């Protein structure tokens, strides 16, 4: 299912990319966009994870750098039946985390400094289990490629300002200006279509991995508060990557809840509380 979702997503995002190319330059523009999209899809499959980690200045951690955190991720990965992912630290005060990589064998999990400083170890375990759930579900390829292509669509749409009067443009200046706003919005809607249900599923499976749904529920409450109070400047510069984080890192610019890439945090916490009340759980050794 992971590969099928990836194929559908790539097809949808590529079609949108071609549409923007056609609107800006007619058939020639669409052909250029097709060649560019093909190369970009191939490049992002192999390199998008490195690009996203680079955007956030993530530094890879060995066990000697932070033994308790490295060991925690290893134990959680074993519980999930996953290979040990690479572990990264982002020097960012906002508590947050994300996972990336094209498959479980090439996965990475990244946590911010603020997450490790603000959370108890139980809460950190809940968050990292959530990220490993994304790896287990093979969401990470979808998330990373979506971020890359959505950013490229926004960039291409901005060219409408410069090429709106191009004689090959079938829409003219007004149409090109409309495309400036509609294309990024359409890309955002594609992200939203998969993000909300994916987060609920990662919460559920992450709670099963760590064994304590309330650890993740407690972490989500702190994460939301931290994201509201602390800027994440790298995320504000790269809003197409916001859906990759466990909590929306954007708060400096007001975003209507209708267009949020994340489900309501209170609803996520309520689902985890119901899960905790309906089944037993086993405590992990990292407490």
Show which residues are catalytic.
131
Q: How far apart are CA 212 and CA 125, in angstroms?
A: 9
- Alpha-helix residue ranges (DSSP H) falling in the chain: 2-55, 67-80, 113-118, 121-136, 139-158, 160-163, 172-210, 213-229, 233-237, 265-278
Helix (H) or strand (E) holding 99: strand 97-100
> Quick one: how far is CA 53 from the chain centroid?
11
**What's the full length of the chain, in residues?**
287
Q: How far apart are CA 22 and CA 43, in angstroms?
A: 22
Two structure tokens written together for 269 = 């916490």
Q: How far apart are CA 48 and CA 114, in angstroms?
A: 24
Residues linked to residue 86 through DSSP beta bridges, in sequence order: 108
Q: Is 262 annotated as a binding residue?
A: no
Cβ density class 181-218: b for 16+ within 10 Å, e for less: eebbebbbebbeebbbebbeebbbbbbbbbbbbbbbbb
Q: Is 253 annotated as a binding residue?
A: no
Annotated binding site for Zn(2+): 130, 134, 199
Annotated binding site: 130, 134, 199
């Amino acid at each position: 299912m992971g590969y099928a979702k990836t194929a559908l997503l790539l097809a949808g995002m590529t079609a949108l990319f071609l549409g923007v190319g056609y609107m800006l330059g007619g058939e020639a523009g669409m052909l250029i966009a097709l060649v560019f999209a093909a190369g970009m899809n191939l490049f992002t499959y192999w390199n998008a994870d490195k690009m996203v980690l680079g955007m956030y200045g993530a530094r890879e951690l060995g066990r000697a750098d932070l033994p308790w955190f490295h060991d925690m991720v290893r134990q959680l990965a074993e519980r999930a039946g996953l290979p040990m992912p690479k572990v990264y630290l982002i020097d960012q005060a906002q508590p947050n985390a994300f996972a990336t990589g094209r498959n479980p064998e090439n996965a990475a999990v990244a946590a911010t400094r603020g997450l490790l400083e603000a959370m108890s170890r139980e809460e950190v375990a809940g968050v990292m289990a959530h990220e490993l759930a994304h790896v287990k579900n093979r969401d990470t390829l979808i998330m990373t490629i979506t971020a890359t292509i959505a950013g490229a669509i926004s960039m291409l749409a901005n060219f409408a300002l410069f090429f709106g009067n191009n004689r090959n443009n079938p829409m003219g200046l007004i149409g090109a200006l409309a495309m400036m706003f509609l294309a990024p919005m359409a890309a955002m809607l594609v992200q939203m279509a998969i993000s909300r249900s994916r987060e609920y599923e990662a919460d559920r499976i992450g709670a099963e991995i760590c064994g304590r749904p309330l650890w993740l529920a407690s972490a989500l409450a702190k994460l939301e508060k931290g994201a509201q109070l602390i800027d994440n400047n790298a995320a504000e510069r790269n809003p197409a990557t916001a859906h990759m984080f466990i909590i929306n890192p954007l708060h400096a610019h007001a975003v209507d809840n209708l267009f949020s890439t994340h489900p309501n945090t209170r609803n996520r916490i309520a689902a985890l509380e119901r899960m905790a009340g309906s089944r037993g759980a086993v405590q992990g050794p990292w407490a």
